[in-house]
Structure 1
Amino acid sequence: MSHSSPSERLNLLSFSGNVKVLHLSWLAFFLCFFAWFSHAPLLMAIADSLALTPDQVKTLLILNVALTIPARMIIGMLTDKYGPRLTFSALLAIGSIPCFVFALADSFAQAAIARFFMGFIGAGFVIGIRMVSEWFPARHLGTAEGVYGGWGNFGSAAGAICLPTIALMFGGEDGWRYAIGLTGVIALLYSAIYYNSVTDTPKGATYFKPKKIGAMEVTSSGDFLLLMLMKLPMYGALALLTWKLSPAEAGLLNQFWTWAIYIFLAALYLLELKKTWSINREVFSAPPAPIHRYKFKQVAILNLLYFATFGSELAVISMLPLFFFETFSLDPVKAGLVASAYSFMNLVSRPTGGMLSDKYGRKLVLMILVAGLAGGYLLMAQIGESWPLYLAVGAAMLCSFFVQAGAGAVFAVVPLIKRRLTGQIAGMTGAYGNVGAVFFLTVLTLVDYHTFFLVIAGTAVFSFLILLLMEEPEGHMVEVMPDGSVSLIDVA
């Protein structure tokens, strides 16, 4: 931990100490998203090359995000146990394999399997949250996490900008294969660079690990029940994705496989219940001393806020090009460019949300941003063909500022709950963003654009009311050192 005076500014232009770790970490996350969404800008070429039907293309998009929900939980646990340096390097290296498999695919089945496993690399976000929390003091944490999330997130937009050009440079009908294969090569190379350039903590600091691995620790019986309740929507989202692929919808799974997956998800939930009980059963008979407790309620509230912020962001990014295309009769290229204004905002908005949290208090800033989010989506619900295009783009950008700054402000609180569980808390909150995306995109298949935006605005209002229950982080997080002594970590 740096012993600088509280007034000292965070110098993002430096490349030493904790800022160096921040830059190396957001770049690792950037490459995860670069590889994860590499197929999106090349879909037309891929569909032509593999002779895919429109339904198969949609299936690839669903498969790409399906595994990310459980992956974020698993990667969160691995990060807490093995440290972010090893976990991030391993994820980039292993994540390069589905890139190569996809690049070499010559059938829909091969492409689908590669895309499904590609969802794992989308969980990279969680790892850096823990890494950054180890290196930055509470007063700079929101800003640092915001830069990490905002700049790393830009990987998907960077892919959309440069991968089609790379595919053209290689030329021919296999251009897309070279472009996607290249993302795998870059991820593989960077995994070695990252491993050799960072450490889990500053010199002399302790890396706190969970006492037990396999499920999240809670510190009261009420928290145990709340944890199991908060797990349900994650299984619900996976069941919803299964239904989207079932005979009732896209028809890409037959009835046997559909039911097999439903039964598997139910069994998995019961297994997780059993595992969580075995790790936490003593809180029912002998709860820990008050000093060692944390409130899972805080995690549950952040989950719902991320559902509304990042969940809506992912959903809106997916549908916005089509929305502008249909509402304003633009050509597809122009519609895509106009819609990209929404995700471009991430570079500034997410760090701003974190910075405001550091400065003016976590809860107050979240309340303002979530209220702005509700207003932003109410405004977007009013957009129609009578609007001038520049006003519609302005409304989308205003809305996206609140959405992304809100996501940044959520992750300004996540690392301040319980240090040794930061990876798991970030994993669960991050997974809720994907759950939100699945929920909102499913809503979109059932209603018109106007109602879709109103549903998100309604979710934001509900989140605002839940947010009133959140407590401002203050005082210290308590962790036990390997020698049994108690370590206090500032959260204010």
Structure 2
Amino acid sequence: MLRTLFSFRNRYRILHLTWFAFFLSFVVWFDVAPFATTIQRELHLTSPQLKVLAICNLALTIPARIVIGMVLDRYGPQLTFSALLMFAVVPCWLTATAHDFNQLVWSSLINSILGAGFVVGVRMVAEWFSFKEIGLAQGIYGGWGNFGAAAAQFCLPVLAVAIASFTGGSLNWRMAIATIGFVTAIYSIIYWRYTQDTPPDEVYQRPKRHGGLEVTSQRSFWAISLLDLGLLISLGLLTYSLAQNNIQFLTFKQAHFIWLFLGLLYAVQFYKAWQINREIVGSLNPFSSEFLKPSQHYPLNERYQVRQIALLDFTYLTNFGSQITVISILPTWFEQTFGLNPVTASLVATAYPVLNLVSRPSGGLISDRAGSRKWTMTGLTIGIGIGYLLMGKLDAGSNLTVAIGLMMLSAYFVQAGAGATFSIVPFIRKPVTGQIAGSVGAYGNVGGVIYLLLYSLSNAQTLFYSMGITALICASLCAFLLQEPQSSVATNSPETAIASIE
């Protein structure tokens, strides 16, 4: 695969068009970050208000990844990604025309939906690459596409300066953001024109029912319900952070109303999931003779374990969740711990996301070649734990070179671990790969929410130790509970890719 990677033919054309679509969605998602101080100065925003915008830019990504996963499984990645890229015009235009804090809040909330773009390409790549190459292909897709977050920091200010030189005046951040939205919309047409859901003569497999994840056992239904509850709890934590005294974007009365809404949303979601799986679950009426008595049973060899989804959710929380957290705090950490000036600190910290170009694909490649995806996942997660525990020992008296080396070591294991995670996701159950990828991707954002909240209540040292201990716990669970994907099953039976006994 490496020899023909840049041929731009057949499946490689699909891979390159798809990672670049993901790249653009991330550029749009992080389009405000490079201009944060400029926007703060022009619109007279406070530092707490900037924190609110950062939180809002993350808020809807969690539910959006779940919804996009459902849409993806039903309509296919070609249409879903094209529509999402065209939608980028909306938040970019709203941001470019914003004149006060409230308008920026709404544009940031809508913009956070673009973070769901990642889910779409996971299934597109899975449709075009065999199980022997899926890890590397997913790693390239995720790693090169993720670079869009770093590219936004470099490219958008340059674009703003270039526009200003033609139009006159100061840094034109408004036109830069509007332009990238327009470019992304144009690319959506290109993506629609030159991609297709599956290779020729293959049929795109859709779930039999839509609106929720189909499960194959009663135990799996309750497990997936708990996973859904975890996502809504994370949104509750986001709401809590917006109601804190140092931010006060929401009053606690408004926060209570949102929490009530989230509770009702979970009830609706639970009922919808039961409707889809009622033959497996049975009646939920405690007075019925059919209470929790399923009318349909899947044979053991056709079942898949939701436990495997939960483990992958946890691994992605551990690696990608910590990644987006560390990227957020590294410049400040280097500046405050080692006395670097802000520019130097930002340049040093940039090495962390840039490493994604190599480390995430290498994680997928190791998973393909090592002979065991389970033990690859376990080993990389152990590396994450050790790396963060060592970073937790750094202080003002530490050597800067050693600190940078430990940062890069941790970054490698974190990003390679993310690549290894999505080398396993497509093997669980092919017709619902989008929904599974949505759950795993959403839990990555949940990790970011939890870790950033912990950081706001403590300090960087506590954060690093907590992330390290969490990673070692995750590695232990993977060692004992994660199943090795059965590649022969994944190839021969699209209905199930991990045979299991529950």
Equivalent residue in structure 2 for 1:387, among 388, 398, 404: 398
- Structure 1's consecutive aligned runs of 4 or more residues displaced over 4 angstroms after TM superposition are 475-480, 486-492
**8 A contact 2:490–2:498 mirrored in 1:** no
Give the distance between the partners of 1:96 and 1:351, measured in 2 at CA: 30
Aligned to 1:472: 484
What percent of counterpart residues are identical? Answer: 43
Alpha-carbon deviation of 1:290?
Answer: 2.8
CA deviation digits over 1:348-383, x for unaligned, max 9?
Answer: 000000000001120111111011110000111011
Alpha-carbon deviation of 1:462?
Answer: 1.2
Give the distance between the partners of 1:51 and 1:59, measured in 2 at CA: 14
Greater mean alpha carbon deviation, residues 260-269 or residues 228-237: 228-237
Equivalent residue in structure 2 for 1:339, among 349, 358, 365: 349
Alpha-carbon deviation of 1:488?
Answer: 7.2
Aligned residues between the structures? 480
Where in structure 2 are the equivalents of 1:318-329 lying within 5 Å?
318-329=328-339
Equivalent residue in structure 1 for 2:271, among 267, 271, 274: 274
Pair 1:52–1:33, CA change in 2 (3 A) = same
Aligned to 1:26: 19
Pair 1:9–1:43, CA change in 2 (3 A) = closer
Aligned to 1:143: 136
Pair 1:395–1:274, CA change in 2 (3 A) = same
- What SS class does the counterpart of residue 148 from structure 1 fall into? helix
Aligned to 2:290: none
Give the distance between the partners of 2:496 and 2:101, measured in 1 at CA: 51
Give the distance between the partners of 1:488 and 1:52, measured in 2 at CA: 52
Q: Does 1:72 align with 2:65?
A: yes
CA deviation digits over 1:283-323, x for unaligned, max 9?
Answer: 13112233332111111100000000000001000000000
Give the distance between the partners of 2:107 and 2:456, measured in 1 at CA: 25
CA deviation digits over 1:145-184, x for unaligned, max 9?
Answer: 0000000000010110121122222233461101111110
Where in structure 2 are the equivalents of 1:203-352 lying within 5 Å?
203-246=200-243, 248-284=245-281, 285=294, 286-352=296-362
Alpha-carbon deviation of 1:255?
Answer: 3.0
Greater mean alpha carbon deviation, residues 245-254 or residues 419-428: 245-254
The answer for unaligned runs of 5 or more in structure 2 is: 282-293
Aligned to 1:192: 189
Give the distance between the partners of 2:421 and 2:240, measured in 1 at CA: 30
Give the distance between the partners of 1:350 and 1:441, measured in 2 at CA: 23
**8 A contact 2:378–2:476 mirrored in 1:** no
Q: Does 1:442 align with 2:442?
A: no
**8 A contact 1:304–1:432 mirrored in 2:** yes
Alpha-carbon deviation of 1:89?
Answer: 0.3
Alpha-carbon deviation of 1:113?
Answer: 0.2
Equivalent residue in structure 2 for 1:418, among 390, 408, 429: 429
Pair 1:163–1:204, CA change in 2 (3 A) = same
Pair 1:478–1:370, CA change in 2 (3 A) = closer
- What SS class does the counterpart of residue 132 from structure 2 fall into? helix
**8 A contact 1:292–1:479 mirrored in 2:** no
- What SS class does the counterpart of residue 138 from structure 1 fall into? coil
Aligned to 2:104: 111
Alpha-carbon deviation of 1:478?
Answer: 7.0
Q: Does 1:456 align with 2:484?
A: no
Aligned to 1:178: 175
Aligned to 2:291: none
CA deviation digits over 1:373-399, x for unaligned, max 9?
Answer: 100001110111222212111110000
Q: Does 1:157 align with 2:157?
A: no
Give the distance between the partners of 1:465 and 1:111, measured in 2 at CA: 43
Give the distance between the partners of 1:290 and 1:422, measured in 2 at CA: 20
Aligned to 1:42: 35
Aligned to 1:87: 80
**8 A contact 2:303–2:496 mirrored in 1:** no
CA deviation digits over 1:428-447, x for unaligned, max 9?
Answer: 00000000000000000111
Alpha-carbon deviation of 1:139?
Answer: 0.1
**8 A contact 2:93–2:181 mirrored in 1:** yes
Give the distance between the partners of 2:276 and 2:213, measured in 1 at CA: 8
Give the distance between the partners of 1:60 and 1:347, measured in 2 at CA: 28
Aligned to 2:366: 356
Q: Name the Cα RMSD after superposition.
A: 1.7
**8 A contact 2:429–2:495 mirrored in 1:** no
Aligned to 2:198: 201
CA deviation digits over 1:9-47, x for unaligned, max 9?
Answer: 562111101011000000000000001001111101111
**8 A contact 1:138–1:491 mirrored in 2:** no
Alpha-carbon deviation of 1:477?
Answer: 4.4
Pair 1:489–1:321, CA change in 2 (3 A) = same
Letter in 2 for 1:175: N
Equivalent residue in structure 1 for 2:387, among 348, 357, 376: 376
Give the distance between the partners of 2:244 and 2:326, measured in 1 at CA: 27
**8 A contact 1:306–1:432 mirrored in 2:** yes
**8 A contact 1:419–1:477 mirrored in 2:** no
Give the distance between the partners of 1:28 and 1:478, measured in 2 at CA: 27
CA deviation digits over 1:83-122, x for unaligned, max 9?
Answer: 0000000000012211011011111111110110001111
Give the distance between the partners of 1:127 and 1:477, measured in 2 at CA: 23
